[in-house]
Homo-oligomer: A and B are copies of this chain.
Amino acid sequence: MNDQDGLTTNQRSYSRHSDCCHVSPEIPRSVANLLISPEIKPFNNPKPSPSLIPSRLSLAQLINATLNSLPCFVSTILFSPCKFPHCLMAKRGVGPAPFLMKTHHMVEAAATDDVISWGDNGRSFIVRKPVEFARDLLPVHFKHNNFSSFVRQLNTYGFRKVVPDKWEFANEHFRKGEPHLLGNIRRRKIAPPSNGKANSNQSVLLPSTTTTSSTTSSPLSSPSHELVALTNENEQLKKDNETLSSELAVAKKRCVELLGFLSKFVDVKELDFRILMEGDGSSVAQEVKEEVEEECPDFKLFGVRLKGVCGKKRVLSEDTDTCSGVAERPMKIGFNSQWMGSVPVARMQHSSGKVCH
């Protein structure tokens, strides 16, 4: 029914950055740029000089360099905005509030730095031209053009005015270049939502009431009940965390193993990735498979070309050989050092067995 479309353009263009495509903190800025700023898209991005890569590991550097040297179209795909449901769903309930992302985006936008921009240290932002901001910028992102409404939202999300006589606001987790921190910012809740849901108004009605629980003395009103609920919840959370920790430990290990494994076959140059296609193609519906076949007409096995496989991979044996071969160290070392070294996971693993049940 309604075309609500209208405004999407702007939104779309930035929503992917602010919503979901930021990069993990550890990623070098150069790579990060590839990921998050569409303006700098991989296409135009000149290969960053090595010096820009801050990572500690030579291997990591190599990888980054590799990434940077990828063909544009590959980079495009690799760094295309996340379309994953959970990423996209970063709208409701999952990710940072839209307000935060929009605001962060506005502040980041270089084109409007004369109107709104980061403070000196990147830990606050300044609305330099409130009138223009309200008139031109606000309605682009929000359904109003009231500066005061914007400020109200800021307060709702815990921002504070940091400099008198200046529209400069700050929030601990609102920082330049770190949209991922926005998730730490939580909207202030209205009232006691937690317990029953059904009880909001009463508390209001009896502010004076210190005692006695809610007016009606509901059966469940006792604090102990709430505490119990909270406690149970905490228990569950704790278990969840343990589980997550365990799972994560496994994941790490897997990756480490994978790396170790890979390092044995470093010389994979001969691989024909068309083989890759098979796997994919096969999984895809009929038509798709055909496409695959078209591209890889020669060999087919289960929709996959054996010829290619054989031709290339007769090599399996070779690789194997390589396996024990060299090259392994570098990689493993690089990665292991980081992953294995991390303590926390182990710390939380109260019961690993529980994890894999």
Contacts and interface: CB of A to CB of B under 8 A. Distances in A.
A333 to B, nearest CB: 5
Contacts of A274: 270-271
Given A160-B88, A213-B201, A247 B246 contact: no
A283 B210 contact: no
A249 B9 contact: no
A116 interface: no
B283 A328 contact: yes
A243 interface: yes
A151 to B, nearest CB: 8
A64 interface: yes
Interface string A101-142: 000000000000010000111111000111110110011111
A11 B309 contact: no
Contacts of A341: 16, 20-21, 81-84, 87, 292, 300-304, 356
A108 to B, nearest CB: 10
A15 B315 CA distance: 37
A16 to B, nearest CB: 8
Interface in A188-235: 188-235
20 contacts: A1-B148, A10-B56, A15-B164, A63-B261, A74-B263, A83-B123, A148-B148, A184-B350, A186-B232, A191-B197, A198-B226, A212-B224, A245-B286, A265-B316, A271-B276, A279-B326, A288-B340, A295-B310, A310-B316, A327-B328
